[in-house]
Structure 1
Amino acid sequence: MEIHSDMTDRPIPVHDNAGRRRMIDRLTRRVVTACGVAILLVMTLLFFWLIWVVVPLFISPGMHAGNQIKLWQSSPAIAMGMDRQQRWGWRIDHQGSGRFMPLSAEPPSAELTLLRGDIRASASADHESVLLLSDSGAMVLVKPDFPQGEEPRWKFPLGDVPLSSGEEHVRQFSLAQSADNRWQVALATADHITLWRLEAQQPAQNSRLNVRDVDHLLLSPDGSLLFALSGAQLRVWRIGNGEPQLRDSLMLAEPPESMMFLSGGSSLLIAYDHGISQWFDIASSSGPHLRQIRHFNGAQWQPLMFTEPHRRVFGTLSPQGELKLFASKQDGAILSRQLGAGIELAQFSPEGDGLLLERAGSWQHYRLTNPWPDISWRNLWQKVWYENYPEPDYVWQSTSANDYYQGKFSLVPMVVGTLKAAGLAMLFATPLALAAAMYTAWFMTPQLRRWVKPSIEMMGALPSVVIGLIAGLWLAPKIADRLLGVLLLPLLLAGVLLLCGWLMQKLPPRWRRCWFAEGREVLLLLPLLLLTAVFALWAIPLAEQALWGQGLAARLSVDYQQRNLLVAGVAMGFALVPLIFTLSEDAIFSVPASLGQGSLALGATQWQTLTRVVLPGASSGIFAALMIGFGRAIGETMIVLMATGNTPVTDGGLFEGLRSLAANVAVEMPEAAAGSAHYRILFLSALVLLIFTLVVNTAAEVVRQRLRQRYSQQEVQG
């Protein structure tokens, strides 16, 4: 019998794929390495870019010499100043002659006699109006005007005909501009003070105060307060439409050498031989009252003291020419220079970015670099005492309608708010997520797990803005209506679970096998837990209404804000549960089954196996899940923004609002002027958030690696 076969004696070719696999492995390794290096490079560039934006906040002020200008007037000056662009300077001498001089050292304009006689001058707070007073009591109001593209000129808001003050031998006088075309003048003689109200094209009005021996006299910039210093006694009057009312009468420790206002008249500087102190009003039950706040370190009274028109900065010049600049919210001098002796008068530019000094026969112009005098590292992290506040506090208040407003930039409220919101969210999410992960990975049947795990993971697909919107518009009012039930709900749920566990142990084994099939207990527990939640959120509020007539939130009234930390914690916790659950469940499920089976074979219960074998083996993954969730909570923006009221407070409790660093940046960055202090401090907030996240993640990775190494060694030894 002949057998035919299609098979041949040729060997079957075997394709060797080892070289192809090695090439793919090398390519994959290089791509992954390149991507990792690119990510590190981007993070490094981001870090240094943030530092580059922030560093100018903390650069020391600078001073650069400009032109030296020859004076064409031999009489000493009684008032001088500059325009905002620092192109022109103006000067009024003792003989009442005024002249404009270019700061480019070009020839000056013609001299103009403003008032004849032996003249004294007092300027308004912004140095835009000057009152000239002659020895005979005549007074005239002048204003240097700098039209765009034209030569500067002198304006006379009340006319160029001198007004008679009716006073001779005036010892002190002060000027304040209370409205666009309205001024107030205070004149102090040996035995009284005369107050004048001057208005364009209106008759002058005056009133009189019987005060003797006034050494120093000041009107607040808006003309609402009058300060008079007689020896060591300081009096403050409130000026209104009627007669002035004495508000404060203080006896100082010794007679001061001088006093002057900082910007806006909110702060008063009183200079003694031994130092300079700052005073401002403090609110009380009887109204605002003047109080000494602080002494400036290293500041001493000098014959020349001058202040900026619009910022809380002042300078002192010693007879030897030592210049020191001080800011109201910084310790010590922010700038110190030796300029040489012989300086007779000094004045800041309107924006504080220039300084004009007069010596005999010449001017010296300086450019100043001091854009943010109130910003320091200390002010960002320590309590600061601001005007009209009862005590030092952490304050974030970046905008105001007042031109004299001082920005308050404390990062402490946002840091505290960030940590409080993240901590409460983790407190809410961690027990739920870990308990769900342990039950799903260890106790639940595989068929049920295939439904439950994807369902919980789908919760993570909800956008933060949607969760924040629901929390702010729907959840916050519901929690306010059922506050007591919401607070009792976790306790009731825990109690019901413990009771069910105790009752299950008391049931006969046959009943437990019949009604509580292993891995399906949740099907019976869920309805019971839902009934408990309905009881807490429906029956308890009804009982409250029956007993007290109102809910807990209404009884708290002032202490309760509808959008608060509790609402944010619940909403953020809901957003964190899917993330922590997924990573923790994967970590528990990835523990080798042989470890659990060996423990069960040795007689351990399932709970003992889970807590003593499985969880230690998965501890590194669980810890990583918690740290990733905490990092997500720290950087959360929209939920915190929409659910908390966005209130930058430090001492708020569970029922008050807050503001986080991320939410603060998101809210205020669009309205911050590029390059301003506000703009750079928001970048500093982002830098602080980035550093905090990097530190937490680095520490978490170190701990995770140690846990992994420790339990890996135990597994090998076991």
Structure 2
Amino acid sequence: MENRPGMIDNPIPVHDNARSRRFADRLTRRVVTACGVAILLVMLLLFFWLIWVVIPLFSAPGFQNVGETKLDSHSQSVALGTDKVQRWGWRIDQDGRGQFISLEAQNATLPQPTSDQRSQPQSEPTLQLQPQTLLAGPVRAASSADNLTTLLLDNSGNMLLVRPDFSLPQKPEWSFPLGDIPVASGDAGAGQISVAQSAENRWVVALAGTDRITLWQLQPQQPAQNTNLTVSNVNQLLLSPDGGLLFTLSGSQLRVWTLGEGAPSLRDAVTLPRPAKSLALLSGGSSLLVADDRGISQWFDIASADGPHLRRIRDFDGARWQPLLFGEAHRRVFATLSPQGELKLYASKQQGAILTRQLSAGIQRAQFSPEGDGLLVEREGNWQHYRMQNPWPDISWRSLWQKVWYENYPEPDYVWQSTSANDYYQGKYSLVPMVVGTLKAAALAMLFATPLALAAAMYTAWFMSPRLRRWVKPAIEMMGALPSVVIGLIAGLWLAPRLGDKLSGVMLLPLMLAAVLLLCSWGRQKLPPRWRRRWLTEGREVVILLPLLLLTGLFCLWIVPMVEQAIWGQVWADRLSSGYQQRNLLVAGVAMGFALVPLIFTLAEDAIFSVPASQGQGSLALGATQWQTLTRVVLPGASSGIFAALMIGFGRALGETMIVLMATGNTPVTDGGLLQGLRSLAANVAVEMPEAAAGSAHYRILFLSALVLLVFTLVVNTIAEIVRQRLRQRYSQQEVQG
């Protein structure tokens, strides 16, 4: 075939870009997949990081043997202890000699001297400093609550206060707060002694004789003053850390004396069910431990009409009286040591022992380090030093989620009372008030937002004209862009004060609005058909309904409070017997409900609008009214999407922070009503995290609160997303079948 003029011998081929499209599709798919996987990894990383921060709260206490130190004296000690960093240990023996021993040189074997060295004077080894005679023995001793001051008493009745001083960089020394000259008490036969520091440079000493107790007030450069109490057969006595109370035990008779500037007065006299073996005070002096043949019980004061009175609170599971019963200086932790060497560690907010260890037998005395992170045990001729890891003894799942009876509280309760101080303070970390507050605020917000959002969605998607819908739907969705901090600011500063003045009208408003809507619906049916066709055509009913609703709101919020003020002379909030808090659950519910309306409306309206039009048209063609079609055809088809909208709104309410923070007063209570304050998990984290010391119990429990909130919102949002996916799949199948 010949080529005709004008024809091209080699035509230009059309560029085939299928390969580039496939490459772009693969690249896009991989980028999207990588981004999705990265988001999941970030969520998992956040989740496991929170768990990593929280796990140490519930780890078991650690107990490690550091080493053994040989003592150069076989005289039994009457007092011992360590410094804060556990570099030095100190002891005072029965002969009245005080000695400092280096704990850093434990297990160090001193070289044996040669024959030439034996003939030369030997210097004092660095392992133990030369003992110093503090008071001529034999002596008895009693230490203050912090174990920093020790009272020595000899058989002649001479008293001497001594204190180990670790402030010098080279080596520690003994200091004497009242001077190194003993104070003569005249009580040579005192059987029980106790000491407490009541103020700076002021000490209270209690000495129990056969038929009396002598109380001494000791101050530097001041003559000693004493007061006598007639009490016989005292088995044990204890002074509270501040010297304000004196506990005496005489068989099964426990007495509490109040000490002050005047004469001591008997405050409580309790007859125990069985004779007690020993008494001990926990840190702070508010809790008293009473040990008998049956176990160990905790007692503390409960307020009553005639003042505080000592009351038995609880028994420690598995605790038994042992010859050695001692506690920490700064935390409510105590331990028992049996003659066979069984060590059990207890905390005041735990049911049973938190640590059990079997040590070697023959222990004569034991003492915690000042920080509670070490234990010094003395046997005949040697010391055993242990390191302990027990930073948060009071934290357990029980204390976080169950009622706990705290010191001086009238009954067990859920209490959140944190502190920015160190962990010595017994913080009260119940998560129940925040969980209850979170659920209450979210539930009330959903109760407020759900009817408004669903009613608006049904009307917009089914009844409203398309022209008006194009304006109304974006306008409501724009409300969702309003920052929650702005809504919280308006609620806290503007709404809260006015809500109290118009409380009765606000409570009446939902009922009146519903009644007006029902009356308008009933009245529409009663109108003549020609009036309905003229005035209530599609889209015009809004022009009539909105003024009626505005008038109803004006009546409830203006006229009702005026009538109430005229009749009773005060508004309803002032007449409430339980009191009215200006920032309360109602304010938070209204403000959070306003913030949730755009979210629930958008998702619910999309779900209703996405129901296939053929279903609604078929129902109308069969003679059903628009309302019947909506309630019996459209809403069942959109029920999954509406449920997903409500679940997502509920998840949004659970995580709300600023509105709850600014509108509720931040009161961590569980029993508050509609007009009382509350605190949510998110608001609690936002308020207290800046003040929490890093690594403290308070810090980690706030992370636990965040973990609980994260799990809660993830579960709610996951359920909602699963329902939405099923809804989308169901509609896609219906469209394919159609």
Normalising TM by the smaller chain, what interval?
A: over 0.9
What CA deviation, in whole Å up to 9, does each residue of 1:284-320 have, x standing for no partner? 2221111111111111111111110111111111111
What pairs with 1:29-44 in structure 2 (closer than 5 Å)? 29-44=29-44
Q: What is the match of residue 316 of structure 2?
A: 296
Residue of structure 2 equivalent to 1:515: 535
SS at 1:167 equivalent: coil
2:321 alignment partner AA: W
- CA distance in 1: counterparts of 2:7 and 2:222, whole angstroms: 125
Match of 1:84, SS? coil
The range that moved more, 552-561 or 235-244, is 552-561
1:354 alignment counterpart = 374
Return the letter of the residue paired with 1:150: Q
CA shift digits 1:148-170 (9 cap, x unpaired)? 52321111111111111121211
1:452 deviates by 1.2
For 1:496 and 1:9, locate their aligned partners in 2 and report how far apart those are by CA, in whole Å: 84
Residues 304, 577 of structure 1: CA spacing in aligned structure 2 closer, same or farther, 3 A cutoff?
same
1:336 to 353, 356, 363: 356
Match of 2:289 among 269, 277, 285: 269
State yes or no: 1:456 paired with 2:476: yes
* CA distance, structure 1, for counterparts of residue 197 and residue 575 of structure 2: 49
Structure 1 residue 251 and structure 2 residue 262: aligned?
no
Residue 71 (structure 2) aligns with? 71
Q: Secondary structure at the match of 2:670?
A: coil
| Residue pairs, 1:237-636, within 5 angstroms | 237-399=257-419, 405-556=425-576, 558-636=578-656
Residues 507, 17 of structure 1: CA spacing in aligned structure 2 closer, same or farther, 3 A cutoff?
A: farther
1:97, 1:115 within 8 Å by CA — same for their partners in 2? yes
2:420–2:693 Cα contact (<8 Å) kept: no
Identify the range of structure 1 (602-611 vs 700-709) with the bigger mean alpha-carbon deviation: 700-709
Q: What residue in structure 1 maps to residue 100 of structure 2? A: 100
CA contact (8 A) 1:620 1:705 kept: no
Question: What is the CA-CA distance between 1:503 and the residue it aligns to?
Answer: 1.0
Q: Which amino acid aligns with 1:325?
A: L
- Show the counterpart of 2:84: 84
User: TM-score, structure 2 length as denominator?
Assistant: 0.93
Kept in 1: contact 2:80–2:90 (CA 8 A): yes
Query: Counterpart of 2:244?
Result: 224
Of residues 196, 201, 212, the one that matches 2:232 is 212
**Partners of 1:257 and 1:273 within 8 A in 2:** yes
Q: Give the corresponding residue for 1:660.
A: 680
Tell me, in whole angstroms, the C-alpha distance in 2 between the residues paired with 1:94 and 1:12.
114
Please give the alpha-carbon distance, in whole angstroms, between the structure 2 residues aligned to 1:282 and 1:402: 26
Q: Secondary structure at the match of 2:284?
A: helix
CA contact (8 A) 1:67 1:104 kept: no
Question: Residue type matched to 2:285 in 1?
Answer: G
Contact persistence 1:354–1:368 (CA under 8 A)? yes
Partner Cα distance (1:402, 1:677) in 2: 9
Q: Is the 8 A contact 1:619 1:708 kept in 2?
A: no
Residue from 175, 198, 202 that aligns with 1:155: 175
Question: Could you say what secondary structure the match of 2:256 adopts?
Answer: strand
Q: Could you report, residue by residue, the CA deviation over 1:556-594 in whole angstroms, capped at 9, with x for unpaired residues?
A: 164321111100000000100011111111222222222
Give 3-state SS (helix, strand or coil) of 1:425's partner: helix
Any stretches of 5+ residues in structure 1 without a counterpart? 1-5
The answer (yes or no) to whether the contact 1:445–1:520 under 8 Å persists in 2 is no
CA contact (8 A) 1:480 1:553 kept: yes
1:496 is paired with a residue whose SS is: helix
Q: Read off the aligned partner of 1:513 and give its amino acid letter.
A: R
What is the CA distance between 1:519 and its match in structure 2? Answer: 2.1
Alpha-carbon distance between aligned partners in 2 of 1:563 and 1:577, rounded to the nearest angstrom: 22
**1:26-47 CA distance string (max 9 Å, x none):** 3332222222111111111111
Q: Is the 8 A contact 2:645 2:720 kept in 1?
A: no
Report if the CA contact (8 A) 1:68-1:365 is conserved. yes
- What is the identity, as a one-letter code, of the residue corresponding to 2:433? P
Partner deviation per Cα, 1:384-432 (whole Å, 9 max, x = no partner): 1100011111111111779963111111111111111111111111110
Q: Report the equivalent of 1:3.
A: none
Q: What is the identity, as a one-letter code, of the residue corresponding to 1:80?
A: L
For the residues of structure 2 that align with 1:611 and 1:403, how far apart are their CA atoms?
59
Give the match's secondary structure for 1:99. strand
Shift of 1:220: 0.5
Worse-matched range after superposition: 480-489 or 27-36: 27-36
Letter in 1 for 2:29: R
Cα distance per residue 1:449-480 (max 9 Å; x no partner): 12211211111111111111111111100111
Unaligned ranges ≥5, structure 2: 1-5, 106-125
1:715 Cα offset (Å): 8.0
CA deviation string 1:463-519 (max 9, x = no partner): 111111111111100111111110000001001111111111111011112222222
* Maintained 8 Å contact 1:187/1:194: yes
Q: Following the alignment from structure 2 to structure 1, what is the Cα–Cα distance between the partners of residues 66 and 215?
A: 41
C-alpha distance in 2, partners of 1:30/1:104?
Answer: 60
Match for 1:146: what amino acid? F
User: Is 2:457–2:604's contact at 8 Å kept on the other side of the alignment?
Assistant: yes
Amino acid corresponding to residue 527 of structure 2 in structure 1: L
Structure 1 residue 276, shift from structure 2 partner:
0.7
Q: Which amino acid aligns with 2:60?
A: S
Q: Give me the whole-angstrom Cα distance separating, in 1, the residues matched to 2:328 and 2:665.
A: 37
Q: How far apart, CA to CA, are the structure 2 residues paired with 1:314 and 1:490?
A: 58
Give the match's secondary structure for 1:248: strand
Q: Judge which range, 393-402 or 559-568, deviates more.
A: 393-402
- In structure 2, distance between residues paired with 1:309 and 1:508: 88
- Further displaced range: 297-306 or 611-620: 611-620
Q: Tell me, what secondary structure is at the counterpart of 1:154?
A: strand
Give 2:110's aligned residue: none
Contact 1:63/1:367 (CA < 8 Å) preserved in 2? yes
| 3-state DSSP of counterpart to 1:265 | coil
Could you tell me which amino acid in structure 1 is paired with residue 715 of structure 2? Answer: V
Give the AA of the match of 1:60.
A
Task: Tell me how far apart the structure 2 counterparts of residues 624 and 24 of structure 1 sit (CA, whole Å).
Answer: 34
TM-superposed deviation, 1:21:
4.4
Distance in 2 (CA, whole Å) between partners of 1:401 and 1:294 is: 28
Q: How many residues align?
A: 714
**Secondary structure in structure 1 of the residue aligned to 2:575:** helix
Q: Does 1:110 align with 2:130?
A: yes
Aligned residue for 1:199? Answer: 219
Does the 8 Å CA contact 2:154/2:188 hold for their aligned counterparts?
no
